[in-house]
Chain A
């Protein structure tokens, strides 16, 4: 037992020294903090890859929450960055890139604190409410994303081409407090509300499992739908799986994001379509903007929209 304890002790020391050495090495480069909603969603994984494609000699630190509504994790990380700024001052931090988990006021005070040190902050994928930004003098924060409203409209137009009037549609929405979810839903309603379509809405929290549970519970309670619009591909795939499990006729299912699994499913003739975003380009553009802002150049615009397109078989 003593030998075992000694081995553990030595291992802990070696591990600790190695970590310290690595940290020491890394602190020489300026840091870019990237706060992603949830690294376990392939969409955010691609944003990360886009950010890491930079040629700039910076250290990129990725932070992610447990899920896409984990506001507490982002608050904690932003608080940490703000503290880091107080201790290390500006020269150590090159920029902060955030895919906000909340479009409300939850993150604002920390972003304001970071901006006080003139650190570039870039919002990606999800906006923060403009009134909140205005109240805190943060309207100069750039945003990079897809036109979610337009994407929602594209999905609705695609469905209307295939459905007759009085068809039943199930909408699976993302986290209610997020601008992205709101915009996709709004875009979809802009088009679909003009027709007499019966709509049922549920919130799937962007999650495969949640969508799977919701759709399973609905179809085993005797509900049927002609089409499903899921605000992201994970929910679309969850809905699809529910139909497969209960051997029901798969309705037209449209997702959003064009992750690899969804595109494969479309090619297999299961999902009908997805609205493609380009998360890699979003990430790449975000790090470019950080570099531009650090070189004191002016930006052409504060809103950069990467085009969405329909992908179907």
Chain B
């Protein structure tokens, strides 16, 4: 018993906790489904992959940045413009390779810009990334509105995608890709470095971590993950939307926090972010499919969703939170 209590109170519990939440919510979802049990469960898993992938990519990127003690909210703008550029390239060239490359290349460029601003120019991360995201978002609208492609419907709302391969027909391949991506990030040692920076920047420097380079890399990876999300979502919808995730910056960050990432930095576990993403997506599906039976039920759905999160933080806040003890030393940021 003592061992169990000790285990429950250990700091690592915050990484296990999201899995418990996910298992509970997924069980509820399966119970709520009606009809063929096997088919519904398989469709629900498919739902997790389709709707979970973009949020997981956002949350992983957000988690990486948060663990360094920074924040990046440009990912919504990056994903919108990556999708639009990919769709436009595909419409103009009919090349899948060039289409994906253009989206990823833009992600890389955006990451370099944000990385330079924050790691080299010491810009406040929230302000800089918000401004950059807004610019990308506006450019995506302008491109969609003015571009003309033969036989493709383009409008301010986005660009149509015709005959692009459907990645979502291969959910297990997507799951495998995500698994490999997470493992690569874990084994590269990047997450260890970001946590070290977030826990105590000066200690990280003394421990031999190249803080500037790591931060720069983290923002590039975050942008690349966002552009993958944008391209993926474009293939799901068969169109590049100009506002697919607008206003959802906070959700990406919230999922990362629910997954044990601490906003002041120092804590990160990518697998527990997977669990918290699945929990959020399952909860969203549950609330959207349940018929509450009143006219403006969608508002109640939002309230229900928020209420669950309040309950989670109320009862398990300590479990998902964590504290680091930064040592505040005034230093010359130029060095």
Contact = CB atoms under 8 A, between A and B. Distances in A.
Q: Do A and B bind each other?
A: yes
B156 A217 contact: no
Nearest to B247: A66
A212 B36 CA distance: 22
B234 to A, nearest CB: 12
B156 A212 contact: no
Nearest to B242: A40
B157 A234 contact: yes
Contacts of B176: none
Tell which of A67, A217, A223 has the most Cβ of chain B within 10 Å.
A217
A220 B47 contact: yes
A212 B246 contact: no
A216 B288 CA distance: 9
Contacts of B247: 66-67
B155 A45 contact: yes
A213 B61 CA distance: 23
Given A67-B243, A203-B296, A205-B298, A221 B40 contact: yes
A213 B153 CA distance: 23
B288 A40 contact: no
A129 interface: no
Contacts of B51: 213, 216
Contact of A176 (B236, B246, B295): B295
A176 B299 contact: yes
Interface string B36-69: 1000100110110011000000000000000000
A212 B242 contact: no
Contacts of A216: 47, 50-51
Contacts of A40: 141, 156-157, 242-243
A7 to B, nearest CB: 15
Contacts, number: 96
A208 B241 contact: yes
Interface stretch (B5-13, B27-35, B122-130, B267-275): B27-35
Contacts of B202: none
Contacts of B35: 222
Contact of A222 (B34, B237, B284): B34
A218 interface: yes
Interface in B114-172: 141, 145, 153, 155-157, 160, 168
A209 interface: yes
Given A200-B291, A220-B47, A221-B285, 5 more contacts: A66-B247, A201-B295, A213-B284, A222-B36, A223-B289
Interface of A: 39-42, 45, 66-67, 176, 200-205, 208-209, 212-214, 216-218, 220-223, 234, 241, 244-246, 259-261, 264
20 contacts: A40-B156, A42-B157, A66-B243, A176-B299, A201-B295, A203-B296, A203-B299, A209-B244, A212-B237, A216-B47, A218-B288, A218-B289, A220-B40, A220-B47, A221-B289, A222-B34, A234-B157, A241-B237, A260-B155, A261-B157
